[in-house]
Amino acid sequence: MEPPFTKQLRSLPASIPFVGPETIEREENIRFQARLGANESAFGISPNAEQAIKDGATATYYGDPTNFNLRTELAGVHGVSINQILVGGGIDGLFSLIAQAFIEPGTPVTTSRGSYPTFNYFTTLCGAALGLVPYRDFCPDLNALAKEAQRSKSRFVYLANPDNPTGIFQIRNRLENFISKLPEDCLLILDEAYIDFSPPPEILPVGKEGPRVIRMRTFSKAHGMAGMRIGYLIADQEVVAGLNKIRNQFQVSRLAQIAALASLKDSAFIDSVVAAVAAGREDYHAIGEELGIKTLPSASNFVAFDLGSPKRVSAVLEALKRKGIFVRTGPPPNNRLLRVTIGAPRERTLFAAVFKEILASEHLGASK
Ligand SMILES: Cc1ncc(COP(=O)(O)O)c(C=O)c1O
């Protein structure tokens, strides 16, 4: 018997959006010395969070299904009502929830071709009609996105700000202008996974976005908890109430809730991570300059090196992998970018040495 999958699922090709470094190590008998491919943090987690886990963690009990303490703290930090916050299994987990709640076969969705792919992944399963808008000079093209949303009568627009894989950040005036140009009944999914690394005065303040925006945040990046799987969204109360009807109540583990709460209260730690990442970005820009390779301005925890062609990127990625360095590129057409996470100083030194060696090799030089 054929498993009774939905028609939509049966129509989809099997796809693996991310091949993890563990799989590469296992299948190719490699030991990575530097993990610079998934924009995880190289700077650990808050010592307070670590202590809180030691003190309070038990895997025996379920976590609080309402995530009450964490939501209360988040509401205070952002100056919003607790009813505007929903906690879930990372931004990716929340994308899945949004797709289930809002997307029906044929729902028009607009996004940038070549940006972070997970929102597309989940909405496609539910039958979304994706409108893919080209970047302009490696920057999500806000005017074109708004135009396409108007043309297709989109109910959703997805924008990562800062963007992945470019690292480009759009300042608040631009965002405000963009939001004002979206169709009346269109929600903006504003993915702010990297917002902690962006210049605070230029960030659109929470509360200024209006009811048509869902802001997505995570503990995976600056807070260093990618393995915990915890993130949250800030939205209009009505949106949160609807999502609450189908939320997986126990998705966020007890440990994750305890750790996230302690980390949120440790702003000195987050400041230190943000400063360390900024220094690392400068290192990467300097490497690019030395090698004559353009790097894109980044307000995130990675830097994109423009190698000019996907072919060259593939060759460099392969060579880096053989030398024990895990790095990724972006989805086409951003697969001419080598996207390198800000590693710890040891990882950056190793990357710099190996990258220079690879580019100096005649073969790759010739394929430039
Ligand atoms: C733009 C963007 N959004 C979301 C995520 C995933 O976040 P989370 O770990 O909270 O699921 C990533 C991870 O790399 C990302 O780059």
Which pair of structure tokens corresponds to residue 20? 């993890």
104 CB-contact burial (10 Å; exposed 0-12 / middle 13-18 / buried 19+): exposed
What is the chain's percent helix, strand, coil content, to nearest 5?
45, 15, 40
Phi, then psi, of 329 in degrees rounded to 5: -115, -170
Distance CA 283, CA 342 (A): 9
**Confidence (pLDDT) at 162:** 98
Beta bridge partners of 329: 338
Determine the average pLDDT of the residues in 195-216.
Answer: 95
The one-letter code for the residue type at 100 is: Q
Peptide bond into 205 cis (omega under 30): no
Residue 9 binned pLDDT confidence (cut-offs 50, 70, 90): confident
* Pair 51, 232: CB distance under 8 Å: no
- DSSP-assigned letters across all residues of 42-105: SS---HHHHHHHHHH--SSSPP-TT-HHHHHHHHHHHTS-GGGEEEESHHHHHHHHHHHHH--T
Determine the average pLDDT of the residues in 303-320.
Answer: 97
Q: What is the 3-state secondary structure (H, E, C) of 206-252?
A: CCCCCCCEEEEEECCCCCCCHHHCCEEEECCHHHHHHHHCCCCCCCC
Q: What pTM, to 2 d.p., does this model score? A: 0.96
Q: Which of 302, 300, 311 is nearest to 336 (CA)?
A: 311
The one-letter code for the residue type at 112 is: S
Q: Which pLDDT tens digit goes with each residue over 318-345?
A: 999 999 999 999 999 999 999 999 999 9
Q: Which of 166, 193, 188, 194 is nearest to 175 (CA)?
A: 188
* 3-state class (DSSP) for residue 193: coil
Whether pLDDT at 368 is above 60: no
**Confidence (pLDDT) at 44:** 97
Instruction: Say yes or no: do domains 7-44+268-366 and 47-266 share a fold.
Output: no
For residue 162, give the ligand 1 atom closest to its CA: 1
For residue 94, give the ligand 1 atom closest to its CA: 11
Question: Fold for domain 7-44+268-366?
Answer: Aspartate Aminotransferase, domain 1 (3.90.1150)
Q: Which pLDDT tens digit goes with each residue over 33-56?
A: 999 999 999 999 999 999 999 987
Distance CA 312, CA 203 (A): 35
- d(CA 365, ligand 1 centre) in Å: 33
**Confidence (pLDDT) at 2:** 86
Q: Which pLDDT tens digit goes with each residue over 221-276?
A: 999 999 999 999 999 999 999 999 999 999 999 999 999 999 999 999 999 999 99
Whether pLDDT at 209 is above 50: yes
Residue 93 binned pLDDT confidence (cut-offs 50, 70, 90): very high
The one-letter code for the residue type at 150 is: Q
Distances (CA, A) of 300 to 21, 97, 129, 195: 21, 25, 30, 7
- DSSP-assigned letters across all residues of 297-328: --SSSEEEEE-SSHHHHHHHHHHHHHTTEE-E
**Confidence (pLDDT) at 15:** 79
Domain boundaries, the chain: 7-44+268-366, 47-266
DSSP 160: E
- d(CA 193, ligand 1 centre) in Å: 6
For residue 226, give the ligand 1 atom closest to its CA: 9
**Confidence (pLDDT) at 367:** 46
Phi, then psi, of 123 in degrees rounded to 5: -70, -30
Whether pLDDT at 182 is above 80: yes
For residue 116, give the ligand 1 atom closest to its CA: 1
Range with the lowest mean pLDDT among 7-11, 84-88, 336-340? Answer: 7-11
Whether pLDDT at 24 is above 50: yes
**Confidence (pLDDT) at 363:** 59
- d(CA 92, ligand 1 centre) in Å: 6
- d(CA 268, ligand 1 centre) in Å: 23
Q: Which of 140, 153, 144 is nearest to 183 (CA)?
A: 153
**Confidence (pLDDT) at 127:** 93
Closest residue by Cα to atom 12, ligand 1, is 193
- d(CA 115, ligand 1 centre) in Å: 11
- d(CA 290, ligand 1 centre) in Å: 30
Residue 7 binned pLDDT confidence (cut-offs 50, 70, 90): confident
Whether pLDDT at 362 is above 80: no
Whether pLDDT at 172 is above 70: yes
**Confidence (pLDDT) at 272:** 98
Determine the average pLDDT of the residues in 109-130.
Answer: 95
- d(CA 284, ligand 1 centre) in Å: 22
For residue 93, give the ligand 1 atom closest to its CA: 11
- d(CA 153, ligand 1 centre) in Å: 27
**What is the distance in angstroms between the CA of the first residue and the CA of the last residue of the chain?**
52
Angle (CA) 64 91 53, round 5°: 40
- Choose the residue to mutate in 92, 94, 168, 337 for probing ligand 1, maximizing ligand atoms within 8 Å of C-beta: 92
- d(CA 300, ligand 1 centre) in Å: 12
Angle (CA) 114 99 234, round 5°: 90
For residue 230, give the ligand 1 atom closest to its CA: 10
Residues with CB under 6 A from ligand 1: 39, 90-92, 116, 160, 164, 191, 193, 218, 220, 226, 231
Class (C level, CATH) for 47-266: alpha beta
Residue 13 binned pLDDT confidence (cut-offs 50, 70, 90): confident
Which pair of structure tokens corresponds to residue 147? 């135009």
Determine the average pLDDT of the residues in 191-211.
Answer: 95
- Choose the residue to mutate in 116, 121, 170, 197 for probing ligand 1, maximizing ligand atoms within 8 Å of C-beta: 116
- d(CA 124, ligand 1 centre) in Å: 18
- Choose the residue to mutate in 36, 195, 220, 251 for probing ligand 1, maximizing ligand atoms within 8 Å of C-beta: 220
Whether pLDDT at 364 is above 60: no
